[in-house]
């Protein structure tokens, strides 16, 4: 299934809607508090109604954490333009970002074990991550990714999704 994301204009704090191709909202991604941008912002990933809320916390500049029904999901930035997803300390995914960005269009490739994490949750996280890290609107740029900070947890370079 394909999705599209739309920013909600003039929303403070920033809000992004994830829609299916029919225009039905799957979830929304909203920065919890604009003042948090000074420190490490938190994001709310809201599915359906406010009762289906998942809070995304930035633990450090390269470590993100959220909880779902299966446990704790930790996301660690890697060298370059990759993120590693871990559920209860087991790798369940990799997210890769494009190097060349034209017209502000960041492109992500999300590889996950869909039995461990919902694809919509992985997409919602990616939207929050992109909003936090890459909300710059450049016409044309080259993204070298994380070249300075070592990852707090390395991914298995041979990892592939099970399903």
Strand partners, 58: 64
Question: Which residues have CB under 8 Å from 112's CB, separation 6+?
Answer: 85, 92, 93, 119, 122, 161
pLDDT at position 76: 95
pLDDT digits (tens, 9 = 90+) for 88-114: 999 999 999 877 776 667 778 999 999
CA distances from 141 to 5, 61, 98, 122, 145 (A): 21, 22, 11, 25, 12
Per-residue pLDDT, averaged over 61-83, amounts to: 91
pLDDT at position 95: 93
Q: Domain locations in the chain?
A: 3-142
pLDDT digits (tens, 9 = 90+) for 11-21: 877 789 999 99
Q: In the CATH hierarchy, which top-level class contains the domain 3-142?
A: mainly beta
Contact 82, 94 (CB under 8 A): yes
Helix (H) or strand (E) holding 4: strand 3-7
Both structure tokens of 124: 């919602």
Both structure tokens of 130: 């992109």
Q: What angle do CA 31, 61, 139 make, to 5 degrees?
A: 70
More confident position, 130 or 119:
119
């Amino acid at each position: 299934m394909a999705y599209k994301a739309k920013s909600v204009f003039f929303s403070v704090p920033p809000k992004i809607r994830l829609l299916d191709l029919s225009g039905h909202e799957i979830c929304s991604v909203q920065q919890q508090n604009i003042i948090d941008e000074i420190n490490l912002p938190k994001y709310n990933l809201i599915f359906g109604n406010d009762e289906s809320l998942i809070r995304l916390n930035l633990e450090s500049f390269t470590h993100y954490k959220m909880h779902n029904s299966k446990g704790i999901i930790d996301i660690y930035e890697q060298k370059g333009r990759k993120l590693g997803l871990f559920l209860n300390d087991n790798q369940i995914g990799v997210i890769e970002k494009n190097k060349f960005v034209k017209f502000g269009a960041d492109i992500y490739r999300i590889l996950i074990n869909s039995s461990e994490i919902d694809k919509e949750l992985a997409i919602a996280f990616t939207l929050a991550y992109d909003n936090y890290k890459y909300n710059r609107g450049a016409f044309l740029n080259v993204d070298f990714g994380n070249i300075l900070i070592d990852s707090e947890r390395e991914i298995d370079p041979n990892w592939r999704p099970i399903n």
